[in-house]
Structure 1
């Protein structure tokens, strides 16, 4: 074996070693890439779920009830803080022998409550009135008839 053949053999052995090391490193990197792809797929699925939930909330009203008091006047405020419309809103005071809402019969049922709008019902209290009231609100939306119960304090 002459010098050139030995040199060629040495270079080919060196190439085999380099390609083996490269193969081992590439395998580790490809495993990491597969893990990252799985994580990316899970994140994408979570983001799609979030977007779908946000889209479903766009059509849903969020009804809140509070009792405002300004001087001698009080009012029960029904607010729609959601992004959807609420229809046929009605209010009922649960376990209340004397109804303090004096103009409810004229304003309820409210035919439509738009997003970020309110309905105010006048209320009058006297010294022996309860401090808390249980208020049940019913309304219709895209999903059908809905109901929620709130506790308000004067």
Structure 2
């Protein structure tokens, strides 16, 4: 082999080595880019799920229950925190012994079921609490959505 052939072969080997190193680096970069693309795709799917759930929930009523102090007495307040009406609203306190219920039954029967609870509106019940009463209650709220579907939620309300 001549001197020029040896020099050409060495340059070709060096070029091949540089190509292999570059190719290996490009594979790593492509793998990272694919991982980022998968993560972005998962995020987009999750955002779409959230948007679809919010879109479905915007036609559903949401209610909350609070125990509030007004002067010297306590009250249960059921509030519609959604943008649609809630119909036939009812409340049930989840108590170990229903005979110790702080709800005044005559007032409850007068106000419930609440035929229509508009957005931002509330129904207030007097709570007959005494020193031995708990300071928090679990309750079940039931209502009917504008589309006729039933709604139910269990809520923990504390003073």
Q: TM-score range by the shorter chain?
A: 0.5 to 0.7
**Superimposed CA distance per residue, residues 53-82 of structure 1 (whole angstroms, 9 cap, x where no aligned partner):** 333333332222334342355543211223
CA distance in 2, matches of 1:153, 1:27: 58
CA distance in 1, matches of 2:127, 2:24: 82
Q: Any unmatched runs of 5+ in structure 2? A: none
Q: Which residue of structure 1 lines up, in the alignment, with residue 113 of structure 2?
A: 109
Q: Which residue of structure 2 lines up, in the alignment, with residue 26 of structure 1?
A: 26
TM-score, normalised to structure 1's length?
0.65
Q: Which residue of structure 2 lines up, in the alignment, with residue 54 of structure 1?
A: 54
CA distance in 2, matches of 1:88, 1:45: 36
Q: CA offset at residue 148 of structure 1?
A: 4.4
| 1:139 counterpart SS class | strand
**Superimposed CA distance per residue, residues 69-113 of structure 1 (whole angstroms, 9 cap, x where no aligned partner):** 423555432112234431121345673488625544444332222
TM-score, normalised to structure 2's length?
0.64
Q: Does structure 2 retain, via aligned residues, the 8 Å contact 1:101–1:124?
A: no
Point out the structure with max Rg over C-alpha: 1
Q: CA RMSD in A?
A: 3.8
The answer to whether structure 1 residue 140 and structure 2 residue 112 are counterparts is no
Judged with a 3 Å threshold, the aligned counterparts in structure 2 of structure 1 residues 46 and 124 are, in CA distance, closer, same or farther, namely closer
Q: CA offset at residue 140 of structure 1?
A: 0.3
Judged with a 3 Å threshold, the aligned counterparts in structure 2 of structure 1 residues 104 and 8 are, in CA distance, closer, same or farther, namely same
CA distance in 1, matches of 2:155, 2:34: 50
Q: Which residue of structure 2 lines up, in the alignment, with residue 35 of structure 1?
A: 35
Q: Does structure 2 retain, via aligned residues, the 8 Å contact 1:58–1:82?
A: yes
CA distance in 2, matches of 1:14, 1:89: 81
